[in-house]
A and B are shown apart, each in its own frame.
Chain A
């Protein structure tokens, strides 16, 4: 297992509805925490990478503006975008720059102020989040795209609405204890009872997906500081090494997608590369963060990552194997469903969770058994982009 580039600092803002500040102030929150965590100053940072989904930002070309606000000029800075996977793509780029010997230390900031624009504006932009020439004219939206996968998957593999609900109940269990989560209320099975008009999770959004199957929008920021071997050993008592990176892309149009019942191809492709690079298999992973923008996405990710055989992802949630005490704990920080999904900040937040787990610093979310290997699965768009990143001590 290669130990050449390490995470030496992690930070995350609270994920909230309607952050009371501008994007530069939001980015500062995660950056400040990561810098204190790493014990470095701005002069130690060789370059910065900023990541978001640009459709939410009023600021054009935010990298230069944020770099100045964070005290990171005159070092090089630039912007990276792969929608919901932007900040894990940013980490891949930061890793590459360090491996190439261009910089010793790189900071990656993910941010999103989804409330920067009104919800009507947001709806319009979301509708154009996929193929605007051939699909948006039908009135598409993110939940509908994932519902296409859910419908085919459920028909073939015997996955039930109760299974999907179980994913949400799990995420809510950890949203309650994660003080950075946007959705901190508990969720119970009665909230999904369609016969009760008061049940807040039961209403259809894009059938078969219901309100409770969809993740929470949020404002938030994340920051990851990477360093080469020499600097990691100088600055950090507990460096967490990037040991595997995989990334893949897929056709934007649903008409060009392979079997919907098999889930997102980018998940399989990115996972295979990351496992190969790390020289491990799925059974070596002791804790994972997967991209649960919708409940179905978590089930599909179990299979894409090899935690369950094809079509058998439902067994993991039925057996509670992905709870904190289970065989392979997944999203025990609340996931996108409860912690929230501030698009550009999400990948960095997932990485922060895994780094804290491997350091043994995850507090009430800490999994048992002193985990040595953790995995982050971060998807952009409807499986348009996929990143799998593996970390080790």
Chain B
């Protein structure tokens, strides 16, 4: 249990990576790293796709990344109708590590550019849901 708290609206209640939400509450955005082969994953995985180990640890994602791409949604799926417009993007931290999330509301749309320096931080919605978002570095 616990993962139903993740995101604007979660579609998954039970996952072995539910600790991700507890870490967000502690102020940390973390992925998982394989203790056996060292492969790093974001979003986190309970199992290593590279060496098939189940021996995983948590690591904090880097602070500095660049915005590889983004989009602003003017329509939204069922359950998100009150949110548009909202912007989502992909952050590239280098070394194959990337992250997908919404951009913080405070960022003006005209200021969002491919290649801009960004970082990420946890976010708590008014209804108690826990997430993370992309902010300017």
CA distance A143 to B74 in the complex (A): 10
A124-B79, A149-B69, A208-B71 known; A254 and B100 CB under 8 Å? yes
CA distance A123 to B76 in the complex (A): 8
CA distance A256 to B9 in the complex (A): 22
Question: Which residue of chain B is the closest to A118 with respect to CB atoms?
Answer: B78
* Nearest chain B CB to A54 CB, angstrom units: 17
Stretch in contact with the other chain, from A18-26, A125-133, A217-225, A321-329:
A125-133
CA distance A135 to B88 in the complex (A): 10
Q: What size tier do the contact residues of chain B reach? A: 35 or more
CB pair B43 A148 closer than 8 Å: no
* Nearest chain B CB to A154 CB, angstrom units: 9
Instruction: Assess whether B55 is interfacial by the CB under 8 Å rule.
Output: no
A128-B11, A208-B71 known; A148 and B102 CB under 8 Å? no
CA distance A24 to B68 in the complex (A): 45
Instruction: Assess whether B58 is interfacial by the CB under 8 Å rule.
Output: no
* Nearest chain A CB to B133 CB, angstrom units: 9
Instruction: Assess whether A189 is interfacial by the CB under 8 Å rule.
Output: no
CA distance A56 to B10 in the complex (A): 21
Within the complex, which residue of B78, B86, B99 is in contact with A255, where a contact is CB–CB below 8 Å?
B99
CB pair B72 A139 closer than 8 Å: no
Question: Which residue of chain B is the closest to A142 with respect to CB atoms?
Answer: B77
CB pair B114 A126 closer than 8 Å: no
CB pair A148 B11 closer than 8 Å: no
Which residues does chain B contribute within 8 Å of A257, judged by CB atoms?
90, 98
A-side interface mostly? helix
CB pair A135 B8 closer than 8 Å: no
A133-B15, A254-B98 known; A139 and B70 CB under 8 Å? no
CB pair B88 A133 closer than 8 Å: no
* Nearest chain B CB to A271 CB, angstrom units: 23
A-facing residues in B76-90 (Cβ within 8 Å): 76-80, 83, 86, 88-90
A134-B100, A135-B100 known; A126 and B69 CB under 8 Å? no
* Nearest chain A CB to B66 CB, angstrom units: 11
B-facing residues in A102-155 (Cβ within 8 Å): 120-121, 123-124, 126-128, 132-141, 143-144, 147-152, 155
New contact pairs (11) apart from A124-B77, A133-B15, A136-B77, CB-CB < 8 Å: A132-B11, A137-B6, A137-B7, A139-B73, A139-B77, A140-B88, A148-B88, A155-B69, A253-B43, A257-B98, A260-B68
Query: Which residue numbers of B lie inside 8 Å of A, CB to CB?
Result: 3, 6-12, 15, 42-43, 68-80, 83, 86, 88-90, 98-102, 114-115, 131
For the complex of A and B, the 5 pairs showing the least CB-CB separation, nearest first, are A137-B7, A127-B77, A147-B71, A124-B78, A152-B69
Query: Which residue numbers of A lie inside 8 Å of B, CB to CB?
Result: 120-121, 123-124, 126-128, 132-141, 143-144, 147-152, 155-156, 203-209, 253-257, 260
